[in-house]
Amino acid sequence: MDAVRAGALLLAAAVLAAGCAPDPAGAPPAPPAPSATTPATSAAASGAPTSGPAPSSGPAPSGPGAVPERDPQPRPDLDDPASLAVVVNKQRPLDPQDWAPPALEDVEGHLLRPEAAAAARALLAAARAEGVPIRIVSGYRSYAEQSDTYAGWVAQKGRAGADTVSARPGHSEHQTGLAVDVGDGSGCELRECFDGTATAAWVAEHGPEHGFVVRYPWGEHGTTGYWYEPWHLRYLGPERAQELVRSGAATLEEFSGLPPAPDYGPPAPR
């Protein structure tokens, strides 16, 4: 891992941005101060990428590995919170914002939608069969739970500060029941050092076989609105997850033909 990436990962640890941040009631320590190799604070605040390719604004190229051009017509599957293809980000809240899955199942103490739960069990079993330590750290979180968590962060850091560490209620992937945070039982859970673990490498490579993708990839916070989170997996279903990988798209936004969502603002047109 080079020095720039190592520095940026220090910020990633502070920005458990998709609602993966712990409850502020526990008074967690303040984010680490930027080092000489850490991207500027202004870049983090604006969501501007510090590494990796910039999101493409032109038509998708053709040829092997190219991102497929998307239908410009409305895509109800991307808007419907019950759809496995739904895209939730800082510009695309759930509709309605207090939506809750009609059914949830327990997976080792954490709730997920039935489709994601079955896939998570298979993923955990497959990783453990190969000797990879893995466990679920977080799963479904309701609108009310996210509201409480976000309000706690606002009280502690102010609204602007809260937006760097926690998703606003109605904007968290965890509320869909399709997102799961994984760990390895070590001190690197939900921290920058998780990037270097066997568990992170395994889920990045094999997660799509089970329908899961790393939702917030390295260097793509200018598109996703969140810093790198190698522990945050999003269930799309095996077919769609593997299609995303084959397409060469870096993010779910790009794959779905949606614009970047680096910050909150007026909801993007549906």
Sequence ranges of the domains in the chain: 76-263
| pTM for this entry | 0.76
Contact 163, 213 (CB under 8 A): no
Do 229 and 16 touch, CB atoms closer than 8 A?
Answer: yes
What's the gap between Cα 168 and its chain centre? Answer: 14
The answer to whether residues 146 and 167 touch, using CB atoms and an 8 Å cutoff, is yes
The residue whose two tokens read 């706690």 is 152
CATH of 76-263, one of 3.30.70.260, 3.30.1380.10, 3.40.50.1980, 2.40.10.10: 3.30.1380.10
- Quick one: tokens of 123? 């993923």
- Distance, CA of 164 to CA of 80 (rounded, Å): 26
Tens-binned pLDDT, residue by residue, of the chain (270 aa): 454 454 444 444 444 444 565 555 443 333 333 333 322 222 222 233 323 333 333 333 334 444 444 444 567 899 999 999 999 999 999 999 999 999 999 999 999 999 999 999 999 999 999 999 999 999 999 999 999 989 998 999 999 888 877 899 999 999 999 999 999 999 999 988 999 999 999 999 999 999 999 999 999 999 999 889 999 999 999 999 999 999 999 999 999 999 999 999 776 666
